[in-house]
Structure 1
């Protein structure tokens, strides 16, 4: 497809001057959108196969949604700039390997989402992605904050279209592909938080990462929260699948989750009436603070690892939603600054950090598709090295007594 030269200029110059091809796909301030667009390795004279394609969806509640499909020759990853730069799913050899089957079948345009419907549960009307950024102004379960404001489920960012989208491709090996998108949470008298999201992957790799920078553009200090809600269903999730994470402690989110605490690492098959069980983990890291969580199937020959740094994201939520396939058979591995409790119950836990005026916070999360037994075993060995001889302490009492919450 022909590239529009004024808005998607290819910037390749002499070595040492410019080292990448850069394409601006969307820029709200300049009123720019390139429409349907595609670039391949052949267009750039690179032998390593890859492509990046911008598509627009049609019909139903996905009308007007724009996706960005990155095929690095090993994985096909779909980003959704219209929905907070989230990751919809990941395919390998044409079949989904990361993602899940939600009752929500379309990639819903935020224009059709009312976050405050169903007492703040409207977020669920569009929830079907592999990775959702929950935040940044607030996150967690809906409820009325101490100041009387209704905080809807998991914040606003995932239902905010990106104001800018830019693709950069390095012109030297390993030809890293980077997609940046700016997503803003700006409300007069309330917040001015701007997140520069960054997705990166190299051709031929089974690994990709997000590197986000949150900046407080206001003249006043503000609170922030973030949960990287990372969701996985079939083919990895099945009866006998297992989650392993380096942690010092685990506790149930509520009383209902208590009965599954002893078996928190293993999964049932699709189970009608299961509902969901959620667990709060205190992760531990290596000397640099890096840590890892690994989910794999029963045979141990297929899985995914989620890597992050506990200095940036100090807590981990495990969401086990092994309900029926129709209702949404899925589990969440969710590193964050906060657990899933409503904001006002997390302040006493010290899990609602603040960001100074003009300051920035950085968050890095790396996902690796584990394609065989060897890769699964290697990832589990990394977790074991971080865990060392420490046991994961099981605490039966939830961090927040929800039976006394009104």
Structure 2
């Protein structure tokens, strides 16, 4: 299934009644976690690609008590971390992995992370996932806003899910849906809940996220969301390329400005490079759907990230092409906002509000492009969405960070 078709299908999964599905409660706040497995064979399902779902608990060090849900759909293997915001730890097809090698090797329990530490960069002590949810009260770099220290990229990635359920459709294609609920709450400050979904199908090399943010409070609140989607080798290498239908691109800061002519091409591991970031406003089709692609130099292997610009209107490209040991990685990051501190984004109209009892939905699809044909097809889709429209290349950052 193509990434955009998967995104459309995701909405159908959510809207459809799950009366004809096997339902299991894997975790809830009142019951201790127990290791558990279900397989297609146990369910009596005969598919070309047998599947299984397993719940396990990690022990030792800062991983103590972390729950992992492993989904093997017969082609793709996925690991989701309910203890860490339902983040996707990694995904793989055969020996090809979607993910990266962070210096953080443990799957760190949020109980051992101080987000206010390191000047608001404590979030980095647990950062090693393929997909990390950022938000939802704020995203972006740490700093003061309205007298409050906002830590890096918000709290969502370090909120344990209070309930986790598994749904497997009883009819072909036997869609597997893992759901979790995150609660971001503070007296007088915020009362958000996020219903998360990860959907995949047996035999598929794709998965999709479908998250619904709800403001349970009685007052309108600002919110921000960003999906930090991180990839390394074998996609990322010297000469690897990023492609998207781009309306506007600008450097995040002065350092990124220097590399602006080559913003879509990657270096190999480079000691002392650190990172550059580019702000992207993507074009979309008539329905708001758009597609971004990362592929290796030969164009024979890649990944795609699809999303809807009516939900997530902007995109950040994070190029952290430092050494392998430091974390050689790039981030493809659709969001409501860029990665500036929230106070810089209000003048850019990138700090939306959510009304009391209102819902906001975020849908993102991820696909492994396993050969040149798949890469070429995704790149053709990018070209179709661009539709010959011009790209504005802004030479200056959107925000002058030196003035503050």
- 1:91-170 to structure 2, matched below 5 A, reads 91-93=92-94, 95-145=95-145, 147-170=146-169
| Pairwise CA RMSD | 1.0
Higher relative contact order (CA 8 A, sep 6+): 2
Q: 233-242 vs 169-178, which deviates more?
A: 233-242
- 1:115-264 to structure 2, matched below 5 A, reads 115-145=115-145, 147-264=146-263
CA distance in 1, matches of 2:59, 2:18: 41
Q: SS at 1:326's partner residue?
A: helix
Asked if structure 2 preserves the Cα contact closer than 8 Å seen for 1:197 and 1:213, the reply is yes
Q: Which residue of 1 aligns with 2:13?
A: none
Say if 2:19 is the partner of 1:21: no
**Cα deviation, residue 26, structure 1:** 1.2
CA distance in 2, matches of 1:205, 1:391: 35
CA distance in 2, matches of 1:377, 1:184: 41
**Cα deviation, residue 79, structure 1:** 0.3
- Count matched residues: 386
Q: Which residue of 1 aligns with 2:306?
A: 307
Say if 2:264 is the partner of 1:274: no
Q: SS at 1:32's partner residue?
A: coil
CA distance in 2, matches of 1:271, 1:393: 29
CA distance in 2, matches of 1:33, 1:198: 22
Q: Which residue of 1 aligns with 2:11?
A: none
CA distance in 1, matches of 2:76, 2:325: 26
Bigger proportion of residues as helix? 2
**Cα deviation, residue 47, structure 1:** 1.2
**Cα deviation, residue 17, structure 1:** 9.3
**Cα deviation, residue 32, structure 1:** 2.2
Asked if structure 2 preserves the Cα contact closer than 8 Å seen for 1:25 and 1:32, the reply is no
CA deviations 1:242-272 (Å, max 9, x no partner) are: 0001111100000000111110111000000
CA deviations 1:163-219 (Å, max 9, x no partner) are: 000000001000000000000001011000000000000000111100000000011
Asked if structure 1 preserves the Cα contact closer than 8 Å seen for 2:18 and 2:169, the reply is no
Distance of aligned partners of 1:277 and 1:271 in 2 relative to their CA distance in 1, 3 Å threshold? same
Return 5+ residue gaps in structure 2 as ranges. Answer: 1-16
CA distance in 1, matches of 2:73, 2:391: 37
Return 5+ residue gaps in structure 1 as ranges. Answer: 1-15
Say if 2:357 is the partner of 1:358: yes
**Cα deviation, residue 404, structure 1:** 1.2
CA deviations 1:223-260 (Å, max 9, x no partner) are: 10000000001111111110001111100000000111
TM-score under structure 1 length normalisation: 0.94
Asked if structure 2 preserves the Cα contact closer than 8 Å seen for 1:61 and 1:109, the reply is yes
CA distance in 2, matches of 1:53, 1:272: 39
CA deviations 1:279-333 (Å, max 9, x no partner) are: 0001110000000000001111111000000000000000000000000000000
CA distance in 2, matches of 1:242, 1:131: 20
Asked if structure 1 preserves the Cα contact closer than 8 Å seen for 2:93 and 2:205, the reply is no
Asked if structure 2 preserves the Cα contact closer than 8 Å seen for 1:97 and 1:236, the reply is no
CA distance in 2, matches of 1:350, 1:195: 23
**Cα deviation, residue 390, structure 1:** 1.5
**Cα deviation, residue 18, structure 1:** 3.2
Q: SS at 1:25's partner residue?
A: strand
**Cα deviation, residue 59, structure 1:** 1.3
CA distance in 1, matches of 2:267, 2:261: 13
**Cα deviation, residue 91, structure 1:** 1.5
TM-score under structure 2 length normalisation: 0.94
CA distance in 1, matches of 2:19, 2:299: 44
Q: Which residue of 2 aligns with 1:82?
A: 83
CA distance in 2, matches of 1:50, 1:32: 26
CA distance in 2, matches of 1:23, 1:156: 27
Runs of 4+ in 1 over 6 A off after TM superposition: none
CA deviations 1:98-130 (Å, max 9, x no partner) are: 000001011100001000001100000000000
Asked if structure 2 preserves the Cα contact closer than 8 Å seen for 1:206 and 1:369, the reply is yes
Q: Which residue of 2 aligns with 1:296?
A: 295
Q: SS at 1:205's partner residue?
A: coil
**Cα deviation, residue 391, structure 1:** 2.8
